[in-house]
Amino acid sequence: MLPDNVPAETPEQPESTERRRVLGMFAGALVTPFIRWSDLISPSLEQPGPDDWARLGSEVHGRLLKPTSHMQPCIAAPGSPACAEALKHAGNPFFLEDHPGATQSTGWLGAWNSTPSSYCVAAETPQDVAAAVNFARKHGVQLVIKGTGHDYLGRSCAPDSLLVWTHKMRRVAFHERFVPVGAPASVKPVEALEVHAGARWLEAYGEATTKHGRYVQGGGCCSVGACGGFVLGGGFGSFSKKHGTGAAGLLEVEIVTADGKIRIANKYRNADLFWALRGGGGGTFGVVTRMTLLAHPLPSEFGLVKGKITASSEAAFRSLIERMLQFYEEDLNNEHWGEQFEIGRDNSVSVYLTFQGLTKSQVEAKFAKLQNPGHWDAQFEVITIPARHMWDLEYLSKNHPDFITRDPRPGHEGEFWWTSNSGEVSKFWYTYQSRWVPESLCRPSKRKEFASTLFHASRIWPVSFHINKGLAGASADAVRRTKETATNPNVFDAAALVILSAGAQNAFTTVPGHTPDLAEARAKAKQVGEAMKLIREATPNMGTYVNEADYFEPNWQNQFWGTHYPKLLAVKRKYDPDNVFRTHHSVGSE
């Protein structure tokens, strides 16, 4: 029972016994059996009672909450005006971030469902975080961490858990002369951006780029957290081939480790922990409360190429795929390019690529080479934006209003997200699978064979080819700094990360009338698996990106971290010997 002095995050709504029974049966059909956290707890640990929770609430100055689902109005009263309002807001990523009981994804077939924690520390200071960590360690309570809740694998929620919610820790600051703590006098200051645990890339880019004319290597989605799982898992952004991963740009971390201590980690202090935090996975080694990221010079413009190439026949489509691999190798495999193209089931290739360091005329000349009348029709649009205005709401609203969706809620007028990211919000995943593709498959000796593989895979499911999530062709600086991180070394041979996924938007396992279609989910997951099997067979031992991988990834230790795993496990055992921080397929979760 919730102690009297612990406020509920939102009022509980009445729910009939029959509805709970039915929803419980449905949820059970979606999730495979799992070991309960309580089954893993040593009997010697002191289980928390109401007085213990009350003391924690006092220690965090009343910031202990009991979160409820943001969809509670629909659970309690389907079809009500309150339910309609909840469904309307469910497509707003910033609305979801404002609620400790919500996550960006609603679940994954046979894996997890978005479920509010039993209790939540709405942290505002590192001391609040330390209090939560100490409480969880002492009492054997499962601890989960949520900044923005974007994790596909469900690692920022769990039933019967204590949530560390960092949403209110939003400080962002630019430093013109940053030197890591403990660095020798010979270390030269650099420009850097400090981001605290609740900050999003929207605020980070606003401070670094719009205000100071600099760039930090972050995520493409504005609502993703700038201090957390993105960087901790490696972190690929639109311009990773130029600047490396987000982890490669990490200069210093403030972190609460499993012993409740607030530590500084950088190259000069706790260097082993610092290495592990750069790519070793989120929610694994502690709770990061602050990061400092390297700032880069800004180009004059950022650019975007949008378009579609439609083949006249299947034979022409085979040739088109081979031509796209050649085009990648000759024109895109360098530091100027990012994002993706998708090989579709309708004999088309959809292009959505970003660029920097090139002029519009140079890009138009490159894409003119893809024209092949009679075999395929190619239509492209090249757009450039002054780099300093890339995340400038006023500029975008005036010049490219269709690029963005603004938060319509009063008091949130400065928040927006890229309209192209809207389809990811409140999505229930049937499956999400990925694989790094070695650059060698794009070269002449293997190009035709790999094009055939992609063609056959595309007959089953569309294949997305994300060139910014592989570091073949990357700048020497990007490679050098990323090699200092814990990211799987196979990324340096990767031309791209191939992603195949399926899911349903606005599907909630606990909301009557909006539950996922299980038959469709299983059928589509099977199709994706069949298509990905062809990709896996063509890319043995390449591995994948830990932040965007299959929940059921086999041999995940090697697939996620390759030869780095033994060293990561040693760091884990040193700083968290009792596995206080334990998430699905994370270092030490065996």
Q: Please name the residue ranges forming H helices in 140-236.
A: 201-205, 229-232
CB 332, CB 239: distance < 8 Å: no
Helix axes 444-458, 314-327, angle to 10 degrees: 130
Those residues with Cβ within 8 angstroms of residue 476's Cβ, 6 or more apart along the chain or in another chain: none
Give the DSSP H or E segment for 573.
Answer: helix 565-575
DSSP code string of 297-335: EPPSEEEEEEEEEEESSHHHHHHHHHHHHHHIIIIISST
CA distance 120 to 340: 38
Q: Per residue in 506-526, is it b (16+ CB within 10 Å) or e — as a string?
A: ebbbbbeebbbeeeebeebbe
pLDDT at 42: 53
Return the H-helix or E-strand segment holding 569.
Answer: helix 565-575
CATH number of 17-165: 3.30.43.10
Residue 46 is predicted with a pLDDT of 72
In the three-class reduction of DSSP (H, G, I as helix; E, B as strand; rest coil), residue 242 is classed as: helix
What integer pLDDT is reported at residue 45 of this predicted model?
Answer: 67
CA separation (Å) from 349 to 4, 122, 494, 572?
59, 45, 21, 43
Q: Which two tokens stand for residue 139?
A: 């009492």
How far is Cα 410 from Cα 428, in angstroms, rounded to an integer? 28
- Along the 590 residues of the chain, how does pLDDT read in single tens digits? 344 444 554 433 333 333 333 333 333 334 433 444 445 445 456 789 999 999 999 999 999 999 999 999 999 999 999 999 999 999 999 999 999 999 999 999 999 999 999 999 999 999 999 999 999 999 999 999 999 999 999 999 999 999 999 999 999 999 999 999 999 999 999 999 999 999 999 999 999 999 999 999 999 899 999 999 999 999 999 999 999 999 999 999 999 999 999 999 999 999 999 999 999 999 999 999 999 999 999 999 999 999 999 999 999 999 999 999 999 999 999 999 999 999 999 999 999 999 999 999 999 999 999 999 999 999 999 999 999 999 999 999 999 999 999 999 999 999 999 999 999 999 999 999 999 999 999 999 999 999 999 999 999 999 999 999 999 999 999 999 999 999 999 999 999 999 999 999 999 999 999 999 999 999 999 999 999 999 999 999 999 999 999 999 999 999 999 999 999 999 999 999 999 999 999 999 98
Residue 404 CB coordination number (10 Å): 17
3-state secondary structure at position 468: helix
Instruction: Identify each DSSP E strand in 15-114 by its residue range.
Output: 64-65, 105-108, 112-113
Fold annotation for 301-387+426-560:
Vanillyl-alcohol Oxidase; Chain A, domain 3 (3.40.462)
pTM for the complete prediction?
A: 0.91
Q: Under CATH, to which class is 172-298+564-575 assigned?
A: alpha beta
Nearest-angstrom CA–CA distance, 401 and 102: 28
- Same CATH fold, 172-298+564-575 and 17-165? no
Burial of 57 (0-12, 13-18, 19+ CB in 10 A): buried
CA angle 488, 548, 140 (to 5 degrees): 90
Residue 18 is predicted with a pLDDT of 34
The domain spans of the chain are 17-165, 172-298+564-575, 301-387+426-560
Give the list of residues 6+ apart from residue 49 with CB closer than 8 angstroms, or none: none
Q: Are 484 and 278 in contact (CB under 8 A)?
A: yes
**What is the phi-psi region of residue 106: left when phi exceeds 0, alpha when psi lies from -120 to 50, beta otherwise?**
alpha
The beta strand positions in 246-312, using DSSP E, are 250-256, 262-265, 287-294, 296-297, 301-311
Q: How is residue 354 written in tokens?
A: 């970003």
Confidence at residue 33, expressed as pLDDT on a 0 to 100 scale = 37
Backbone angles phi, psi at 432, to 5 degrees: -150, 115
